Structure 1
Amino acid sequence: MSVDAIAPKPAPIPPQPPAEPPTYPQWLGHPKPLWMLFMTEFWERFAFYGMRWALVLYIVAQFYRGDASGEAPASELYGAYLALVYAAAIFGGYVADKLIGYQRAILLGALFMAAGLFLITIPTDAWLKLGLATIIVGNGLFKPIISTMVGKLYAPTDSRRDSGFTIFYMGINMGAFLAPILTGLLAEKVFGSDGMPAYKVVFIASGIGMMISLLWFWFGRKQLKGVGAAPAGATGPGRMVAVTIGALAAIPVYYFLLTIDAGVLNWILIALFVAPAIMLLVEGIREGARQRDMVIAMLIIFGFNVLFWMFFEQAGSSFNFLAQNIVDRDLGGWMFPVGWFQSVNSIAIITLAPIVAWLWVKMGSANPSIPRKFGLGLIFNGLAFLLLMFALSSLVDPATLKIPFWTLFMVYVIQSVGELCLSPIGLSMTTKLAPAKLTGLAMGGWFLSIAIGNNLSGMFASSVSGEGGMTLASAHAGYTFGFWALLGAGVLLFLIAPLIQRLMHGVK
């Protein structure tokens, strides 16, 4: 017997408590860096939503000379772009955690996004896709990281933590609210007209917004006192150069994915989703029946999440064509800009979020389970399409062949109620149901489910427009399908909710 075998075993090292954040100056009851991150995210969301409403309209106007036959390919490209934005977010966490740190990931991501927005202004199809691919790479580095930074400002036991995230969430919605209003005014009232919007100005304004976000964080990051800095031993330029080269190399990959058929891209995204799903299921089985059941419940809800985003994300594609061509935007001689409809969601979220949160608390033990909240999200999304069905069949003005302004406005409001039932609990649910060893992988699965839904949203919008562009008949047929699909899924989820709840083993 060796000496090692008879020597006393060292005591196991107890788990280390999470590192306490530095002591920060306070402003309005919160760490001062929160407000710096608030404005950084505000301008990033300004950039993202500033160009969102204009993208498909610009593609039709610039590359199809305004011909409605361009609506279908424009919608598919938009869906692919949005899908890859979410898929790219999976890699950002690894790069920040292991390679360059959170601060440098945010700066590099902002730089790539700004460059991509300016590239879009070059009026060729190749530069458009190159610009979108560059934005995708930048978003993958930026978006999943800045939210994590907010959490690092507070100790795990700090009671202000949830309030801090609420303030940060307001920054997201304020940027999303103001961006379409400002860029819509610039495009349709200042540098162009309602008939000939100056879409380039939209992308330039969004690019400037992204540069402000970059500079705001660059000058404000000293307030973080080292939180989110590069990992030990990685403070030099070597890893930063390597990640930059890797990001540049990823641009042609995303460019290629933007050029392939949307159906092929969907199979690629599904394959990317299946791999972590199998790994999660295997780990769940290894940990026992309880964890296996929880993984199964999580994957079932992921499937319904795909359907929700498939129809919710019509906001950036088919709803824009609907607003431009079929909605009566003449308000007493003043033409309501198309892009302003994009701000309705943010207004509704800011207004209704406290009400919905209060309602869940007020309901107490009658508070719906997670599956039923998802079911409500699907049903409210479906009710928005029911309103469109009614408007397109019964409210069409025979003289103008357009539907009333209020109908599309209320569609965005009703969809926002559905979003509040579903979206805020998705990430929380994932962290609770996933195996502890694979929580990050499960978060990747959540983002991939949204990515698949976004790509399908482009394919659905393409079918609504058809080969010749959106008409009253094609819109009615498409949105009728959307209503029945969402209603059916919502009702099904309500019916099987007790089964899913049992699989969740008490997780609420």
Structure 2
Amino acid sequence: MHSNSQKTWFGHPKGLFLLFSTELWERFSYYSMRAILVLYLTDQTINGGLGWTTEQALNLYGIYTGLVYLTPVFGGYIADNFLGQRRSIMIGGALMAAGQFTLAMPESIVGDMNLFSFYAGLALLIAGNGLFKPNISTMVGELYEDGDNRRDGAFTIFYMGINLGSLMAAVISGFAAEMFGWKAGFVCGGIGMLLSLVIQFGFARSLLGEIGIEPAAKRQARVTGKKEKQPLTKIERDRLKVILIMSLFVIVFWAGFEQAGGLMNIYSQEYTDRMLGSFEIPAAWFQSLNPFFIILLAPVLAVMWRRMGAAEPSSPVKFAMALVFLALGFLCMVGAALEQGGDMAVKTSMWWLVGAFFFHTLGELCLSPIGLSLITKLAPLRLASVMMGIWFCANAVANYVAGIIGSHIGNAGPLAIFAGIAITAFLAGLLLLIFANRLIYWMHGAEGQSEKANTLNTATA
């Protein structure tokens, strides 16, 4: 673990704010594309879209977002064993910038190769993301020594950077697509990725020092003096069990949450009354509700957790809360479907969507930054980026499932889908709450509540 305590800003290493800025523009790039992808696929070809059916578009969306979260496993392995995190981020960022500009290539250039260039752009984005995503998050953890209680707060700050980028992306990319066509939205994403690379290239050496240069496996071998791979200890095995079990519940959460970019995106476009006076709100702008609520609520939750002191919920309990909030969000969507009364020609109130995004955001804040922090606490150093990749792999499964679920709207109808997700999320949250103490026990001191759980579980073992 590295320390960069000599260079601080607001009580945190300055390197945190470099990583914050790098991730902000990378997420701007990603969400610029995500906000318009399904809309671009389903729009009529006369408007510059591809003219796909809703089912085709949502299936591709699920496959794409699934691969985005699957490839970090390989990117984490490459970084841990060969490239190091810093080189992986730069190579991954360059690939993603190339992907965005490939998507933005006008038909006058690609001609009959338009569909080929589209798939090539997606492939470059997927490959680049695999190298970038796990390593930027792992480097945040490396800024802090083991036991540093600033780490959870650091990931909350980092997560706000992610969502500030997302907030700007949906508005800017959505506006550009509305005014100048879909390709302009992809250009916005490419520019954002270039800004991310410039920031990382210009300031990493001075603000991060040696962090992320040497591959983690090689660094551990150098520090311990043992070149051969060491078997996992019992504590390490228990902690890895926690990561894997929590990942299962993460799948349930994100499978519901990721309806935002697919099914809920289409619902806002086709079935929602978006008129505000004489102005019709672009459907892509609803994608900004989630990051807006995160920026608004993250500081509130961070202060609340700190003031709770010893009464602060453990990570498994926070995850259970996240699932309950997800269920409440989909109850809002059930309300929207009931307002339609089975008549898909009826436009529903946009406030149902606002309520859904509000509760989903509360759930995200109880799960996503807490999960990132937890991985850096539980994963062995030599497997840090790989385990971060496996954590994102749960998102891969969830995004693929989300696409399958959303694509059945034509058969099952929105009411059945929204109600089914709400019930599943609530039951999963209840199950996690039941087994929370056992998971805390397996963490072996990674969280303050572990001693209490240790006593309880020892007595009941």
Q: Could you state the TM-score of these two structures normalised by the residue count of structure 1?
A: 0.74
The whole-number CA distance in structure 1 between the counterparts of 2:116 and 2:334 is 37
The corresponding residue for 1:10 is none
The corresponding residue for 1:422 is 367
Q: Is the 8 A contact 1:186 1:202 kept in 2?
A: yes
2:270 alignment partner AA:
N
2:422 alignment partner AA:
F
State whether structure 2 residue 173 is matched by structure 1 residue 183: yes
State whether structure 2 residue 43 is matched by structure 1 residue 53: no
Q: Is the 8 A contact 2:156 2:298 kept in 1?
A: no
Structure 1's 438 and 104: CA in aligned 2 closer, same or farther, altered over 3 A?
closer
Q: Is the 8 A contact 2:255 2:398 kept in 1?
A: yes
The whole-number CA distance in structure 1 between the counterparts of 2:18 and 2:379 is 32
* Secondary structure, aligned partner of 1:53: helix
Q: Is the 8 A contact 1:22 1:225 kept in 2?
A: no
The whole-number CA distance in structure 1 between the counterparts of 2:237 and 2:150 is 34
Equivalent residue for 1:482, pick from 407, 421, 426: 421
Higher mean alpha-carbon deviation, 311-320 vs 430-439, is at 430-439
The corresponding residue for 1:470 is none
Q: Could you state the TM-score of these two structures normalised by the residue count of structure 2?
A: 0.81
Equivalent residue for 1:456, pick from 384, 397, 401: 401
- C-alpha displacement of 1:183: 1.4
RMSD: 3.3
The corresponding residue for 1:171 is 161
State whether structure 2 residue 73 is matched by structure 1 residue 83: no
State whether structure 2 residue 56 is matched by structure 1 residue 73: yes
State whether structure 2 residue 95 is matched by structure 1 residue 112: yes
| Gaps in structure 2 of 5+ consecutive residues | 108-113, 216-230, 448-461
1:141 alignment partner AA:
L
Equivalent residue for 1:132, pick from 107, 122, 133: 122
1:114 alignment partner AA:
A
The whole-number CA distance in structure 2 between the counterparts of 1:202 and 1:175 is 15
Q: Is the 8 A contact 1:91 1:140 kept in 2?
A: yes
| Gaps in structure 1 of 5+ consecutive residues | 1-17, 192-197, 233-282, 467-472
The whole-number CA distance in structure 2 between the counterparts of 1:355 and 1:56 is 33
Q: How do 1:193-212 residues align onto structure 2 when only pairs under 5 Å count?
A: 198-212=181-195
Number of matched pairs: 425
1:386 alignment partner AA:
L
- C-alpha displacement of 1:454: 1.2
Q: Is the 8 A contact 1:149 1:228 kept in 2?
A: yes
- C-alpha displacement of 1:206: 0.9
The corresponding residue for 2:391 is 446
Equivalent residue for 1:376, pick from 321, 326, 340: 321
Q: Is the 8 A contact 1:397 1:403 kept in 2?
A: no
Give % identity.
42
Structure 1's 298 and 111: CA in aligned 2 closer, same or farther, altered over 3 A?
closer
- C-alpha displacement of 1:367: 3.5
Q: Is the 8 A contact 1:101 1:228 kept in 2?
A: no
- C-alpha displacement of 1:368: 3.3
1:476 alignment partner AA:
L
- C-alpha displacement of 1:85: 1.3
Cα displacement string for residues 467-490 of structure 1 (whole angstroms, at most 9, x for unaligned residues): xxxxxx711121121112112222
Q: How do 1:319-358 residues align onto structure 2 when only pairs under 5 Å count?
A: 319-358=264-303
Cα displacement string for residues 400-455 of structure 1 (whole angstroms, at most 9, x for unaligned residues): 60110111011111101111122222234345555677555543332221211111
Q: How do 1:192-231 residues align onto structure 2 when only pairs under 5 Å count?
A: 198-224=181-207, 226-228=209-211, 230-231=213-214
* Secondary structure, aligned partner of 1:227: coil
The whole-number CA distance in structure 2 between the counterparts of 1:23 and 1:368 is 32
Structure 1's 107 and 322: CA in aligned 2 closer, same or farther, altered over 3 A?
same
State whether structure 2 residue 292 is matched by structure 1 residue 302: no
The whole-number CA distance in structure 2 between the counterparts of 1:399 and 1:339 is 20
2:29 alignment partner AA:
A
The corresponding residue for 2:24 is 42
2:417 alignment partner AA:
G
* Secondary structure, aligned partner of 2:172: helix
The whole-number CA distance in structure 1 between the counterparts of 2:14 and 2:167 is 24
Structure 1's 484 and 68: CA in aligned 2 closer, same or farther, altered over 3 A?
farther
The whole-number CA distance in structure 2 between the counterparts of 1:362 and 1:153 is 24
Larger Rg: 1
Q: Is the 8 A contact 2:155 2:369 kept in 1?
A: no
The whole-number CA distance in structure 1 between the counterparts of 2:205 and 2:374 is 34
Structure 1's 397 and 331: CA in aligned 2 closer, same or farther, altered over 3 A?
farther
The whole-number CA distance in structure 1 between the counterparts of 2:89 and 2:193 is 12
Q: Is the 8 A contact 1:318 1:465 kept in 2?
A: no
* Secondary structure, aligned partner of 2:273: coil
Structure 1's 362 and 64: CA in aligned 2 closer, same or farther, altered over 3 A?
farther
Q: Is the 8 A contact 2:61 2:262 kept in 1?
A: yes
The whole-number CA distance in structure 2 between the counterparts of 1:396 and 1:54 is 29
Structure 1's 398 and 437: CA in aligned 2 closer, same or farther, altered over 3 A?
closer
The whole-number CA distance in structure 2 between the counterparts of 1:155 and 1:489 is 34
The whole-number CA distance in structure 2 between the counterparts of 1:301 and 1:50 is 30
The whole-number CA distance in structure 2 between the counterparts of 1:296 and 1:363 is 28
The whole-number CA distance in structure 1 between the counterparts of 2:132 and 2:142 is 16
- C-alpha displacement of 1:47: 0.7
Q: Is the 8 A contact 1:116 1:131 kept in 2?
A: yes
Q: How do 1:277-292 residues align onto structure 2 when only pairs under 5 Å count?
A: 287-288=233-234
